[in-house]
Structure 1
């Protein structure tokens, strides 16, 4: 089974529920793609096509005067291209979210992961000939609506949850022996922020489940090595858990653990998860709770849907700690929002501040 992203996004209301349509900008040098995406957006009552342009330069010129909510961006175009224009596009678009529409070639994977690390919110494979079917259209529209949703509350300062204060759990009194991070939409950028603020030496293994296709995982691992200064590897069956080594769920299996006389090792699980995601955060968290109990530390970052909620409940029941990203800094506050609403989080923070809590939980008692 290959990568299966979350399609549902609890709380991701349409633009009509926000009082105005979600304005979409299409940036692609293919006339066929521009026409297909334009027709799709134009047919939805809660979406509005702001423009469809063929170059990044045209997009930057338009963003200087037009407000948009979501940008569908191709990376390989004549001129400066989507990747080269991305930093300026993020600056000019202000609160707009960027959905990279990419091929799944090796080169495309590297460029797409780099775009996600720079701040693009999500990615979707560009449809092959004959692949623009109903399932693809539904997936694209779900992503556009989730990204175009405006936050219910005004942004709060880093380290502070937006809006009314949710109920927080007390953190574990045990020193964290392992850290597991789950993320989806916007997660690569958030993970980069977290590792940029995390001490180089924690002395515990780190597991990551990021919703990505399998072909993107090697590029993601390489990027993590550069950002974190740690070994970062796609997980494989039987791999030992080593201090300060990052193991990443492959796109076609859940990352779980198995007990061996020498210690815990990786066990890849390809059974369907309740969330529908492959890989899913839930099996990773559930396995963590079984293996490490109150010494488990789970982190839920930005993402669409509810993946991670069931596993986080098991970590909480085992006495472990769950940390969640706040709404103000999330591309989509689906996964961390579900954690917050369920009262499972011990803190709801900016990713940089989550790094501080991780360090405190590993180095001393409590988070």
Structure 2
């Protein structure tokens, strides 16, 4: 293990040393179990293991890490309170919340994700650690810290160049997964409270999280937000989020549009899935539809994005630099399906101005 006074190493890339992880947990037992899990297969290096947020912040002044495993419940400054400072001090390090607090309700989990945590995992009580828990940590870190090939610069630059002013749109539909809640919170803060268009959101979250997620979106967007129910009308200025147990599809009602819920398996394997939302949006709104894809693993949304583009609509995806995982947005951008590739703050401003990329 390097000394804290060592020069900050550069970020690992293909062929370099494994990504480095800092563990922040007040339990010595938890730190030991997590450290063994992190280094078990040689994929990662434990750069340090500390007992509280203050020590962690001091550690990060001198040592560059790629990932932080963070407990939420600690003496003094809680992990949740320290999260923004740890993200800033980590200079892009991805934070995995590992805490028993994540099992006590969706509030702490969704709030942590909105503040910028990349993912969460429930930590068992002392004495309840198992091989399954160790495997789960390893798998999540592998997904979050796996070295990805760099973005196609030509594709990304070309998409940015096309982000001019178009003819506008009548509805916004947003899809997101891992890392998407924080990106969504940044985007929504750029939209004025009087924004008149309806906004649909499909975020990969369990059903039990949705009421709190909707409440938080309502605060961030400063407008009403509902968890979708079957036959719910799509109304101006309101936000609708997909429930965790069904996809949302848009249907025409003659004098407007409404939501129909569907629980058929999606090609992506996600529930809810972005694809049915986008596909149905294209059918009803055609060239007046704007789809947005934020950070997330996998390819969910890429098929639906093609439908939106084919009907004359526009698709904007989050850029790689600001994404926790550039899977969902990257799949669309690299296939040439993105009208623009932008960070969340710029996507929010584009929506607020009712512009569309051309």
TM-score range, shorter chain: 0.7 to 0.9
| TM-score normalised by the chain length of structure 1 | 0.83
For residues 229-277 of structure 1, the C-alpha deviation after alignment (integer angstroms, 9 at most, x for no partner) is: 1111211112110111111112222222234355322222222211122
Match of 1:38 in 2: 35
Q: Does 1:243 align with 2:236?
A: yes
Q: Does 1:99 align with 2:96?
A: yes
Please report how far the alpha carbon of residue 349 of structure 1 lies from its aligned counterpart in structure 2 after TM superposition.
Answer: 0.7
Q: Does 1:70 align with 2:67?
A: yes
Matches within 5 A, 1:146-295: 146-149=143-146, 163-166=153-156, 167-168=158-159, 175-295=168-288
Other structure's SS at 2:14 match: helix
Taking the aligned partners of 1:359 and 1:251, their CA distance within structure 2 comes to: 27
Contact map agreement 1:178 1:204 (CA 8 A) in 2: yes
Other structure's SS at 1:17 match: coil
Query: How many residue pairs are counted as aligned between the two chains?
Result: 343
Please report how far the alpha carbon of residue 320 of structure 1 lies from its aligned counterpart in structure 2 after TM superposition.
Answer: 1.0
Structure 1 unaligned runs (5+)?
1-14, 154-160
Please report how far the alpha carbon of residue 319 of structure 1 lies from its aligned counterpart in structure 2 after TM superposition.
Answer: 1.5
Q: Does 1:24 align with 2:24?
A: no
Please report how far the alpha carbon of residue 199 of structure 1 lies from its aligned counterpart in structure 2 after TM superposition.
Answer: 2.9
Taking the aligned partners of 2:286 and 2:165, their CA distance within structure 1 comes to: 10
User: In 2 relative to 1, CA 65–237 (structure 1 residues): closer, same or farther, beyond 3 Å?
Assistant: same
Contact map agreement 1:172 1:321 (CA 8 A) in 2: no
For residues 127-146 of structure 1, the C-alpha deviation after alignment (integer angstroms, 9 at most, x for no partner) is: 57868455x65553343123
Structure 2 unaligned runs (5+)?
1-11
Other structure's SS at 1:64 match: helix
Q: Does 1:327 align with 2:323?
A: no
Contact map agreement 2:118 2:179 (CA 8 A) in 1: yes
Q: Does 1:311 align with 2:304?
A: yes
Computed over aligned residues only, the root mean square deviation of the Cα atoms, in angstroms, reads 2.8
User: In 2 relative to 1, CA 104–268 (structure 1 residues): closer, same or farther, beyond 3 Å?
Assistant: farther
For residues 166-214 of structure 1, the C-alpha deviation after alignment (integer angstroms, 9 at most, x for no partner) is: 4547999664121100111211111111111123333221001112222
Match of 2:49 in 1: 52
For residues 31-57 of structure 1, the C-alpha deviation after alignment (integer angstroms, 9 at most, x for no partner) is: 443333222111122211223333223
Contact map agreement 1:102 1:108 (CA 8 A) in 2: no
Other structure's SS at 2:245 match: coil
Q: Whose RCO is larger (CA < 8 A, sep 6+)?
A: 1
**2:110 paired residue among 104, 109, 113:** 113
Taking the aligned partners of 2:44 and 2:326, their CA distance within structure 1 comes to: 20
Taking the aligned partners of 1:104 and 1:214, their CA distance within structure 2 comes to: 18
